[in-house]
Each structure stands twice: as C-alpha cells, then as structure tokens.
Amino acid sequence: RRTINVALVGNPNCGKTSLFNIASGSHEHVGNYSGVTVDAKEGYFNFQGYHFRIVDLPGTYSLSAYSPEEMYVRHHIINETPDIVINVVDSSNLERNLYLTTQLIDMNVRMVMALNMYDELEASGNTLDYMKLSELFGVPMVPTVSRTGKGIEDLFHVVISIYEGADFLDQKGKVRTEVLNDLREWHREYVPGYTGGAHKEEEVRHHGFYRHIHINHGPELERSIEEVKRVISENEDIRHKYSTRFLAIKLLENDPDLETLIKTLPNGKEIIDVRDQESRRIRDVLNEDCDQAITDAKYGFISGALKETFVDNHLDKEHTT
C-alpha cells in the first residue's frame, strides 16, 4: 500500500478543518505536532487502495515571512515536501483566496484546488466557469462542500491521479502506455470536464495532471525574476530543494527569511547585488516598489482570469466599491 502525503493549504475559514475531519474521520485521526506558536493536525485514512497522511495546516493569506502561520506553512511545504498540496479556497471569495494560489504556483508544488463552499457560490446566484479557470491557472479544480462531504471523493480521486501521473511518466515526461488505460478510466469517471473516449494522451494529461504554468508578472518583472533566478541557479543544492523562481520572486519582495538563507551561499553577495539592482530598475521603470509591483501583477492575473470565468449576478445591487 502506498502512502500519499497531502497538505491542506488555504486562507483562514475556507473549510480546511471541515475537509480534514471528513476525509480522515474522527476515529482515525491521530495527534498534533506543533511549532513554536502554531499547530498542525495530522490524520490518516485509506482510500482506493492508498494510504493517506493528511495535514491540516494553519490558515494563511500569503506565503511571505510576515506571520508565524505563513512561515510555518512555507517551511512545511519546503521541508516536509508533501506529495500533493490541496489548496482549499472559499469559492464565494475567490479573488482574495486565489492570491495564495499564485504563490503556490510560484513554489512549483503539485496541487489540486478544492473549490470549497461551492454551495454558497451556487446559492448566491453567481456563476463560475471553473473548467476554464482551471485551465487558466493550470491547476485541476474540484467543487466541494466540506460541511456535507460533497465532492470530497472526487477530490481525492484527482489527488490520486496527479500522484500517479508523476510516478508514471517516462523519462520524456510522457504517460507510460501501460498505465494510460487505467488513468483514462479514472478520468472518465472522476475528472470534471474530461470527455473520455478519445485516445489522446494530451487530453488525459491536460485534465488530470499537474501542468507547468507561470503566473505572468509582465515583461519588466519577468525580466528581473529571470535575472535573479539565473544567479540563484548556480547553487545546485538550492536548485534541488527550492523552486528557484519562488526564491527569486521572494527576494524581489525583500523577504527577510529567504534573504538570510541566500546570504549563506558562496555567491550570496552577488545574488543580493543583482536583486538590489533589479529592484532599483523596477522602481525606475514601473514607478513603484518591487514588492508592490509583484502583488499588483498577481492580482492583475487573478482579476483577468475571473473576468473571463466569473459572472457576478448581483453586481448592480451589492457592489458599491
């Protein structure tokens, strides 16, 4: 029996603990482990022939170094290396929730999104083309209601298929033919939007597997990110442990924790120099501080994606801002 390590990551109050309780069941859940100021709960369960270890992480809006919760979640992802992150979001509050998602994408984690509180989205009369949103973010998304358990099985089927997708890719990154048929069955049954039937590897991959996308921060920031990434990437150990893109973005945001780490590297000074140079350049060309520019770019990406996929049917009545 293989173990899949799963971590729940999301804003406060989006339903992580409810999802955790439903998935692990009260009888199977085991202890706590704690950091200095925050706790994470860990549980176990079996599903579809797999053993799951699931961790309910503290709620966070971001993965910066500004609060103990953020640091805890970030360290968990980097050091415990969960096989799959379940990014739990409150579907009735997408704009704010998706900000964290953009940072998880920067971290290059394999993930699936639980579009939780989907009942509230439906009750609101607003509509979301989540298949399209899923494509734009390059992250599989599954509507869930963790208060009742609706969608949770689907969610874990997708977790399994992402997990297997990684294991069953050959060296060229193609799905091995011997597992393709099994995967097709799963997808036909469980993956929203998968039309099935077609013997197209592309389609299976598209709907079930983790895809690489980058949040595009615009040409100037992307240039700076590439520059910083280039000097960071000279360090082989760092390259293995971290997403160099995440490190570059965080350095450009003046993240104190990661700056400390970078300064311990043989070429740490060079990296910080390049970062400083790029920060100044950004301030000159974009007329704002680099960290603010990055935040704006992320929200720009989110609002662009929501414009294409989300219809607010109460816009006239309720939105005054």
Binder of residue 211, out of Mg ion, ligand GDP, none (CB less than 5 to 8 A by kind): none
Residue 131: exposure state from Cβ atoms within 10 A (0-12, 13-18, ≥19): middle
Least Cβ distance, residue 16 to Mg ion (angstroms): 5
64 binds, among ligand GDP, Mg ion, none (CB under 5 to 8 A by kind): none
How many degrees, rounded to 5, is the angle at CA 133 between CA 93 and CA 169? 125
- Residue 271 CB, shortest distance to Mg ion, in Å, is 37
Our CB check for ligand GDP shows the closer of 158 and 225 to be 158
Length of the chain: 321
Positive or negative CA dihedral for 275, 280, 286, 291? Answer: positive
Closer by beta carbon to ligand GDP, 116 or else 279: 116
Largest Cα–Cα distance of the chain, in whole Å? 58
Of these partners, ligand GDP, Mg ion, none, which one is at the site of residue 117 (CB under 5 to 8 Å by kind)?
ligand GDP
Task: Please state, as a whole number, how many other Cβ atoms lie within 10 Å of the Cβ of residue 120.
Answer: 15
C-alpha span between 101 and 222 (Å, rounded): 18
17 binds Mg ion (CB under 5 A): yes
- Residue 120 touches which of ligand GDP, Mg ion, none (Cβ within 5-8 Å per kind): ligand GDP
The smaller minimum CB distance to ligand GDP, of residues 21 and 233, is found at 21
Buried b / exposed e across 228-264, counting CB within 10 Å, b at 16+?
bbebbeebeebeeebbbbbbbbbbbbbbeebbeebee
- On the CB side of 259, CA atoms within 13 Å amount to 13
What residue 13 binds from ligand GDP, Mg ion, none (CB within 5 to 8 A, per partner kind)?
ligand GDP
Nearer to Mg ion, 69 or 278 (CB): 69
Q: Of 84 and 231, which CB lies nearer to ligand GDP in the complex structure?
A: 84
The nearest distance, CB 299 to ligand GDP, in angstroms, is 22
Binding site for ligand GDP (CB under 6 A): 10, 12-18, 59, 116-117, 119-120, 145-147
Amino acid letter, 2: R
Q: What is the DSSP letter of 174?
A: P
The distance of closest approach from Cβ of residue 148 to Mg ion in the complex, given in angstroms and rounded to an integer, is: 17
Task: Supply 199's token pair.
Answer: 């013997």
Q: Which residues are annotated as a binding site for GTP?
A: 10-17, 35-39, 56-59, 116-119
How big is the site for Mg ion, counted in residues (CB under 5 A)?
Answer: 2
- Could you list the residues that contact Mg ion (CB under 5 A)? 16-17
